[in-house]
Every structure is written in C-alpha cells, then in structure tokens.
C-alpha cells in the first residue's frame, strides 16, 4: 500500500506538471475536433477544486469551449449585436456612452467569467460617490445586467452576476402638476401660434414630443377624430431621423376630442399657405408639424419657441413633457380608468401608469367612495 487515496469517480486524472499539478477536462467534440481544457494549480487539491468548478459551470449550461474574452470584449460584441437586432439607434448610442464613460474603464479588462457581484456593486457605489444621479447609476446597472443576460443566453457565463446587485433607489422628484385654470391660461396664449395644434394635441391626447413631430396627415382621421402613432422623430448623432415608436404599445390608435380636431384643421390651412409660399422649395414628407419648407421640425427650435410661450402664460416651470403628464392627470380626475390612461399614453405596463400618477389616484378613489356612499345614503 502506498497510502495514496483512490480518487472518487469523475474527479479526473491529476498529474505532476512542472512545479505543481495539472489535469485535463474532456469537453467532447466540437465539429471534427476534440476539445479539452487544461487546469493548473500548486497543489493537487487546488486542481481538483478547479475541475469541480468547471463541471458545475458545464452543468449550468456555460459553453466552456467558447474562446475566452474579457467583459470589455463582450461589451464591444454586444453593442454590435444590439445595433443589428432592431434596437433603436438612439438607445444604442446611449448604451455606448455609458460603456465608454463608466463601465469599460472599471470592468473592461476583467475576464467575462470572472466578473462577480462584488465588482458590479463596487462600481455602482463608486459612481454614486462621484455624484452621479441615482437614475444614471441605475442606467449603468441596467446596461451591465442586459449585457450579461445576453451572455448567459449565449452560454458564455453560467449566471448573470448583476441580477443579484441592487441598484440605488430612485426617488421621483415631486413636480408641480398643471391645474385646469393654468391649462386654460396656456390655451389662451396659444391662440394663433403656428404650433398651437402641436401643444393642444400634447395636452389633450398625451403624445410624446417625438411622436407628435413624426405625425403625418395620413396618420389622422379628422372625420372620425382618430389618431394613430406609427413613427417618431429623434435626433441621432446630430441628425433628425424617423424611428419606430418606443415600444409595441407606443404604436397605438387613440381618439381625439373635437377641440383637437379643430386645431388640426386650422393648422392644415396654415400649412397649405406655407406650402404655396415655398413653391418648388417645399419638401413633402407628409408631416403635420414641419419647418417652413416641409422638413421635420427641429426639436431644439421647438424648445426655444416653447420658452416664450410658457413665459407669456406665467408658467416658467412647465416643460413640454409636462403637457403629457397633465393629459393623464386630467383623464384620471375625470374618471378614466388607469388602464385607459395606459392605452392613451402608450405605457408598456400598467404599473408604470400607476406609479407615475400615484399622487392623483387617492383623490380619485376618495371621490369614487364618496359618490358610492352618497347613492346608498342619499
């Protein structure tokens, strides 16, 4: 007897190699080649532990035959994948900016399968300490989580380590809500403005800025009072581009009140005059809201003109996007269900509607309870 223990089944053959030990794990055939993976260690126990770790990864579905890559290399590859899979270019450029400025410098050189929850948690903490907003840190976490999620599906890692890391809580800033009296004052100021119909539609139908700028005459039925969102205008790398709506639910058909229809009819007459004045210089994109020569309206120019409008209405705090929020608030206050508001706004989930307008719901619930009780007790 030599005193040397017999290895358990499946431990593999560990042998002396140079100044330590080694073992070879058989990974089977890949095409016409047999794939094997070597592991090394100072001690026999260290090699056996590495073999056990590899087998666990193999059992969980990780492809051990994949070429080793760093997290940074995978991020580069992942961005290429996102560019080709239909992800909006504006979104891809946002991902790229977060990767270049925050993720690659900290985690790019780490082996993809060596990334740990602690590393991700430490990066998020450092970014918070550097003064980045909770929203930006959450976006950083989201990019890491999504990239690792795709790596997991590709069997490049056996788990998504970012999924167990909790991003910082997002505190929604309390913003003023447009009152009915303030909305009426704004409508008075808008009368006769070349973009009156744009702001009326934002206030009454709740479309996003890009959705309104991408709206075509073929997308509205002024006879039936219906509007369909089919495209948006976005600035991508300095250029205005037509893009798909934000989500599947953003591609929607909603009713228009008669006041909005009337504003659009007045706008169509005004646009016909501009088209006549432009003559052959008019570029026909079929858009409702355009420049003086028919091209897409520049969002930056829209913002500049908006500042003058809101100042005239004594509403210096009001953003264009707040008109969308005001539309939802007025709908809820008028008795519309959250699901109806979700459909009008094009929210992807009912939870988003409920969370965004939680400040309005208690008042609506109180009114409903009071109305029901009044019926019971007179």
Map out the domains of the chain with their CATH numbers: 14-59 (no CATH), 71-164 (1.10.150.130), 180-369 (1.10.443.10)
Nearest in space to 102 (alpha carbons), one of 75, 82, 65, 69: 75
Tokens of 72: 């940074």
Q: Give the C-alpha separation, 339 to 125, whole Å.
A: 37
Going by the DSSP 8-state scheme, the letter that residue 154 receives in this structure is T
Residue 51 and residue 23 in contact, taking contact as beta carbons nearer than 8 Å: yes
pLDDT in tens, 90-124: 889 899 999 999 999 999 999 998 899 999 999 99
Q: CB count, 10 Å around CB of 58?
A: 18
Residue 5 is predicted with a pLDDT of 43
Q: Give the C-alpha separation, 132 to 141, whole Å.
A: 13
Q: Give the C-alpha separation, 130 to 141, whole Å.
A: 15
Torsion 153-156-158-160 (CA) sign:
negative
Q: Give the C-alpha separation, 67 to 341, whole Å.
A: 49
**Residues near 113 by beta carbon (within 8 Å), at least 6 away in sequence:** 57, 62, 68, 156, 157, 158
Query: Parallel, antiparallel, or unpaired: how do β-strands 14-17 and 20-30 relate?
Result: antiparallel
Residue 7 is predicted with a pLDDT of 46
What is this structure's pTM?
A: 0.66
pLDDT in tens, 47-84: 888 778 777 766 666 665 566 789 999 999 899 989 88
Residue 289: band (very low, low, confident or very high) from pLDDT cuts 50, 70, 90: very high
Q: Label residue 233 exposed, middle or buried (CB < 10 Å: 0-12, 13-18, 19+).
A: buried
Count of residues making up the chain: 378
Is the pLDDT score of 378 beyond 60?
no
Residue 325 and residue 172 in contact, taking contact as beta carbons nearer than 8 Å: no
């Amino acid at each position: 007897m030599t005193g040397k223990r017999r290895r358990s089944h499946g431990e593999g053959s560990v042998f002396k190699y140079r100044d330590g030990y080694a073992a070879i794990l058989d990974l089977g055939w890949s095409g016409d080649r047999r794939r094997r993976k070597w592991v090394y260690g100072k001690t026999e126990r260290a090699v056996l532990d590495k073999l056990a770790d590899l087998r666990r990864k193999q059992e969980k579905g990780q492809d051990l035959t994949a070429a080793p890559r760093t997290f940074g290399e995978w991020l580069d590859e992942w961005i290429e994948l996102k560019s080709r899979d239909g992800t909006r270019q504006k979104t891809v450029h946002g991902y790229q900016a977060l990767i270049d400025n925050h993720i690659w410098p900290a985690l790019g050189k780490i082996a993809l399968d060596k990334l740990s929850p602690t590393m991700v948690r430490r990066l998020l903490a450092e970014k918070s300490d550097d003064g980045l907003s909770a929203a930006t840190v959450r976006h950083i976490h989201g990019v890491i989580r999504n990239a690792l999620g795709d790596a997991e599906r590709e069997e490049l890692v056996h788990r998504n380590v970012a999924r167990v890391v909790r991003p910082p809580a997002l505190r929604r800033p309390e913003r003023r809500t447009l009152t009915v009296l303030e909305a009426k004052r704004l409508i008075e100021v808008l009368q006769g403005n070349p973009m009156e119909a744009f702001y009326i539609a934002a206030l009454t139908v709740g479309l996003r800025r890009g959705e309104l700028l991408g709206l075509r005459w073929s997308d509205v039925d002024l006879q039936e009072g219906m509007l369909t969102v089919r495209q948006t205008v976005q600035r991508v790398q300095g250029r205005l581009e037509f893009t798909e709506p934000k989500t599947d639910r953003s591609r929607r058909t909603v009713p228009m009140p008669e006041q909005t229809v009337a504003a659009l009819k007045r706008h169509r007459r005004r646009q016909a005059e501009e088209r006549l004045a432009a003559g052959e210089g008019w570029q026909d994109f079929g858009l409702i809201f355009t420049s003086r020569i028919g091209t897409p309206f520049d969002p930056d120019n829209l913002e500049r003109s908006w500042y003058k409008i809101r100042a005239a209405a004594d509403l210096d705090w009001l953003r264009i996007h707040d008109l969308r929020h005001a539309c939802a608030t007025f709908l809820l206050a008028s008795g519309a269900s959250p699901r109806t508001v979700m459909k009008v706004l094009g929210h992807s989930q009912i939870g988003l509607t409920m969370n965004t307008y939680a400040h309005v719901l208690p008042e609506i619930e109180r009114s409903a309870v009071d109305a029901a009780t009044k019926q019971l007790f007179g």
